[in-house]
Chains A and B, each alone.
Chain A
Amino acid sequence: QQPVQSPQAVILREGEDAVINCSSSKALYSVHWYRQKHGEAPVFLMILLKGGEQKGHDKISASFNEKKQQSSLYLTASQLSYSGTYFCGTVHGGSQGNLIFGKGTKLSVKP
């Protein structure tokens, strides 16, 4: 039950904002967010636990909507360094095992 990410790709100018969504058809325990730059390994950004919390990381924040089984990643005042592919990974109820990753959202920030 791979989570569905949207949009698949987004192009921004420096300073613009973006939202990336991650939805699951199964009940979620937690959601992870990672960023992967071309040719590099994914890098952990943050983890959201069920409970509708919101977390921040510099100008990157995320929320978890337990009712909708959805998480959203917010990138504000984007910088060139934000470019990359963003993946959400989901942990489902009752499982403390592996993450299931979405297909990713490619973010390109232009000067």
Chain B
Amino acid sequence: DTGVSQDPRHKITKRGQNVTFRCDPISEHNRLYWYRQTLGQGPEFLTYFQNEAQLEKSRLLSDRFSAERPKGSFSTLEIQRTEQGDSAMYLCASSLESTVYYGYTFGSGTRLTVV
């Protein structure tokens, strides 16, 4: 068990460019979550998957954001036409099953800086 892996660790991009992040969850975990965290704040929910199905997406999430989890394994988060307000740490987490009963294992995150 190598934990949750995220790639890249850091990404600097120019405003207007598209970026894609990857997350490899713990292999036995069915659930995969994407959160965003800015300095001094708690993680903010973006979306989550149960196997390959995307079950919930934050209402605050712009149409510029899209996530996939093909075949229920790794996941990608794409941000199109990045804006400076997208600068944040993007955290991926996985859990065995229902959030009611199982804690999350977080990856180390991808820090995005939009210049």
Contact = CB atoms under 8 A, between A and B. Distances in A.
A83 interface: no
Contact of B98 (A2, A96, A101, A103): A96
A99 B104 contact: yes
Nearest to B56: A97
A98 B56 contact: yes
B103 A47 contact: yes
Instruction: Output the residue of B41, B56, B100 with the most chain A CB within 10 A.
Output: B100
What's the interface size class on B, roughly? 20 to 34
Given A98-B33, A101-B42, A101-B44, A41 B108 contact: yes
What's the interface size class on A, roughly? 20 to 34
B48 interface: yes
B2 interface: no
Interface of B: 33, 35, 40-45, 48, 55-56, 91, 98-109
17 contacts: A29-B100, A32-B103, A41-B91, A41-B106, A41-B107, A41-B109, A42-B43, A42-B91, A42-B104, A47-B102, A47-B103, A95-B99, A97-B56, A98-B45, A101-B35, A101-B42, A104-B42
